[in-house]
Amino acid sequence: NAGVTQTPKFQVLKTGQSMTLQCAQDMNHEYMSWYRQDPGMGLRLIHYSVGAGITDQGEVPNGYNVSRSTTEDFPLRLLSAAPSQTSVYFCASSQSLAAPREQYFGPGTRLTVT
């Protein structure tokens, strides 16, 4: 199993550009989520999904869109990049509340918006 994969690892955008951060998992997990980590801070939840076709907002959703058309994939879209979105983005997945230990994080995508 590859676990949780994220692409790209690094990205530089200009203000106003759009892009999609990719996240995929091969563990058939129901729950997937996106977090952002700003320098010197903990992770904050952007959006999450409890299954294919179901998404909801987290703590900091503004400026981001998500969709979950398959169990495996959970892309994060930046509609019009802003310097405030410069951050490291982590995707995570887990099976269920019955398996709390099995919360897997991807390696992260470092995004810089100039």
Which chain residues interact with other proteins by CB under 8 A? 31, 33, 35, 40-45, 48, 50, 56, 58-59, 88, 90, 92, 94, 96-97, 100-101, 103, 105, 107-108, 110
DSSP run (H or E) holding 76: strand 76-78
CB of 114 to other proteins, least distance (A): 21
| CA dist list (Å): 41 to 4, 10, 36, 38 | 22, 19, 10, 6
Burial of 48 (0-12, 13-18, 19+ CB in 10 A): buried
For other proteins, the closer CB: 82 or 88? 88
Q: Report whether 20 contacts 99 (CB < 8 A).
A: no
For other proteins, the closer CB: 17 or 60? 60
For other proteins, the closer CB: 2 or 97? 97
CB of 80 to other proteins, least distance (A): 26
